[in-house]
Structure 1
């Protein structure tokens, strides 16, 4: 059974002394410092040019990864505070002995929510697939013979969550421990606390993907042990139970993309307004103020009202579900997303189905995802080929030019092949949509 004292650890990478909550400066609380460090990071700022739904779209209506992450953090903060208040009522010693406040839960969930997409490549989820397929079926498959099964799995199933953990924690010259976030916030961020293998060993929600690359395994283990995550042995490999607050981060993301992607689709004209409003009304039929709604004559105002009501409805329900299942969550036996327990599941499924049909599979999205595949595969191929030829003492003049232009951005001289390949993949994933397109155009000689 996990315990809240450990789960709320304020420890940071490199600490030698224990950080106690009751000794914290209330004007500069450690969990709030996490939020500040994330929001001022270059990796977070780059999300402003990574679109949430429509890759490469410059339409003002469409959410970027940055605005989506900010919205998820707001929802996450509310979820954390509601849950935190109930947790402290059930476990008063957390306040009386240790000094924790309900806002601490909100701050942890808000910070982890803010960072939840920080490792995502350009061009949305197709960007992850493009990087993975370069190593699985593209030219990058050449490297498989020189990698361990787990190393190769990391590359051919390239995962934004694992890349995010790398960004948040990786030491660089002069920067030890990356952003040096509290272990509580890192725990709440760790959505899939396992390695890339075994792949999907069970139907547990935390086994759907993986959460760290091989190079980050030692520190991931350190964080998991410090915050007291439960260990499991599956197919002779160690996996961990989720940090309980990770369920709230996931719920905040689920709520936002369900409702707000739907709203984007309406604003883009991909979903008929009357049709869409009808579906949202079904979701909030128990809480809607009909008189107030009927007074709104503008479609945008009606949509805004329904969206706010829907998000609030789902926040309260997710928080209630968490509290009702706290013991099961702490034991590591809660195996689905909180939103999957929603009594509004039928309405949510209807909204997601329409979003899939009308937005995610729209011709505009599909065509631009195709472009994203070509762009990322080209960049990876140029960088990996130049790196490989350099390390084989066979670099052409063109390879040398590529490395001269881009080599400072990835570790192409490292003795370890896996480290070189992950470094290149991490760099390509860090590019914004526009920056990746510009580099592609320059490599192709389309722009000088």
Structure 2
């Protein structure tokens, strides 16, 4: 790989747009192009909607518990920090002497911050259960929606994924007056592709558990890969860093949220980690066990210091967890930076087949252990399970009702032109409807209908989805289904 191409600051509109669409850099105001990407994402409406989307726990009256927005800002912050270390402290080791024409000290931190902020933008309401609910609706209504369509053509929906929706959102749906979305740089578009293959790719299915783009955006992805020197099945090196920051953020910070919500205590977490140290004795994991042991020693020392201050039990728990967060993140970030530095030649190879960065780092066992704690003490809690069930039911029911407004509309058929169908259709975002109705959209009508439905659901916040569901349900009971 060539870092100059990987950090390509050109935009698709500048290459493929008309002369009227090419706006140049008149509004750059001293910013380089990749820095402008972060700003475009930050000020985009879908980013603000993340404040009303569940991360793990139901939206809480305790506003210190994280939403999708706070999670995204935390991932962006961790990613930017690693980018600063890579481009300042480790510039020669990472980038060598082949970066004279690019300012890595500005471009790399900005790029990592941008893809950290955008990485969950396409996720539907109600956490990952929202993805499952969408998948299940299409599986249950497969014959009604797709008829005898080829299996490959409908995998985007049977295996619907928020990562692919994110790429679609920034390249197609968040539009002003053209078809270029937020018109992000090639570098940002390439590095935000967490899973570098489509829903029908067979060659990389064993490596990547999900897909990164829909068939409707394949031509854009091909253009992006061409401009940055990548290909199907090969990640941008910075993608590994962003994914590692996502792993660090949710493994550490979900544990903090679990304790803040009173589902476990600081001592429960310490005991859990100590059991992992006892459990893993083989020599191959000495370094990985050492990181956990050092973390335990540090946070227990701080806990003893806080006890001397005569804090209340709640304050002691809270202060101890804050120090856990500080030490845990520092340990994991250092292990990720060191691993990327030591194996950079593997990550910039077109033959790189690493699944992720964290698992091959010394922090891999700590991150895995924290995820196990989060699952056992948090994700299986009744409040989370209730949210998942409610979200699943709300999404499936609303998809039933919106389908009445979507199906057959382009052919003036079915119930889409009934009073209820017309009203339901108008409740869908105007941007999404414009893309759906665009005569230049070359996807088959049946695909476009299914995609408008997923666009609509994914773009909603938790509370708006519930409100719209209840509004339409009150009108839907008189409609012959």
TM value normalised by structure 1: 0.88
CA contact (8 A) 2:165 2:213 kept: yes
Counterpart of 1:272 in structure 2 is: 265
* 1:11-22 equivalences in 2 (<5 Å): 11-16=10-15
CA contact (8 A) 2:204 2:233 kept: no
Counterpart of 1:402 in structure 2 is: 424
**Are 1:51 and 2:54 an aligned pair?**
yes
Counterpart of 1:428 in structure 2 is: 457
Counterpart of 2:134 in structure 1 is: 131
**Are 1:224 and 2:225 an aligned pair?**
yes
Counterpart of 1:157 in structure 2 is: 159
Of the candidates 75, 82, 102, which is equivalent to residue 105 of structure 2? 102
Counterpart of 2:24 in structure 1 is: none
Q: Which runs of 5+ in 1 are unaligned?
A: 18-23, 232-238
Q: 1:217-255: CA deviations, max 9, x gaps?
A: 1011101110001x3xxxxxxx23000000000000000
Partner of 2:101, secondary structure, is coil
Closer, same or farther in 2 for the Cα pair 1:339/1:431, shift >3 Å? Answer: same
Closer, same or farther in 2 for the Cα pair 1:405/1:328, shift >3 Å? Answer: closer
Counterpart of 1:325 in structure 2 is: 343
Deviates more, 1:332-341 or 1:345-354: 345-354
Closer, same or farther in 2 for the Cα pair 1:125/1:199, shift >3 Å? Answer: farther
Counterpart of 2:213 in structure 1 is: 212
Partner of 1:315, secondary structure, is helix
**Are 1:354 and 2:355 an aligned pair?**
no
Q: CA deviation at 1:101?
A: 2.9
Q: CA deviation at 1:198?
A: 2.9
Q: 1:114-146: CA deviations, max 9, x gaps?
A: 000000000000001111111112x35422225
Partner of 1:208, secondary structure, is coil
Counterpart of 1:378 in structure 2 is: 397
Deviates more, 1:376-385 or 1:220-229: 376-385
- Distance in 1 (CA, whole Å) between partners of 2:29 and 2:344 is 27
Q: CA deviation at 1:76?
A: 0.5
CA contact (8 A) 2:265 2:317 kept: no
- Distance in 2 (CA, whole Å) between partners of 1:52 and 1:434 is 14
- Distance in 2 (CA, whole Å) between partners of 1:122 and 1:313 is 32
Q: CA deviation at 1:187?
A: 1.5
Q: CA deviation at 1:106?
A: 1.3
Counterpart of 1:10 in structure 2 is: 9
**Are 1:439 and 2:454 an aligned pair?**
no
Counterpart of 1:242 in structure 2 is: 235
CA contact (8 A) 1:51 1:65 kept: yes
- Distance in 1 (CA, whole Å) between partners of 2:352 and 2:362 is 21
Counterpart of 2:479 in structure 1 is: none
* Count of residue pairs brought into register by the alignment: 428
- Distance in 2 (CA, whole Å) between partners of 1:406 and 1:73 is 30
Partner of 2:196, secondary structure, is coil
Deviates more, 1:294-303 or 1:125-134: 294-303
- Distance in 2 (CA, whole Å) between partners of 1:255 and 1:114 is 15
Closer, same or farther in 2 for the Cα pair 1:140/1:56, shift >3 Å? Answer: farther
Q: Which runs of 5+ in 2 are unaligned?
A: 17-26, 278-290, 308-315, 439-443, 477-481
Q: CA deviation at 1:405?
A: 4.1
- Distance in 2 (CA, whole Å) between partners of 1:394 and 1:446 is 18
* 1:361-372 equivalences in 2 (<5 Å): 361-372=380-391
Counterpart of 2:78 in structure 1 is: 75
- Distance in 1 (CA, whole Å) between partners of 2:39 and 2:427 is 32
TM value normalised by structure 2: 0.82
Deviates more, 1:291-300 or 1:266-275: 291-300
Counterpart of 1:93 in structure 2 is: 97
Deviates more, 1:164-173 or 1:116-125: 164-173
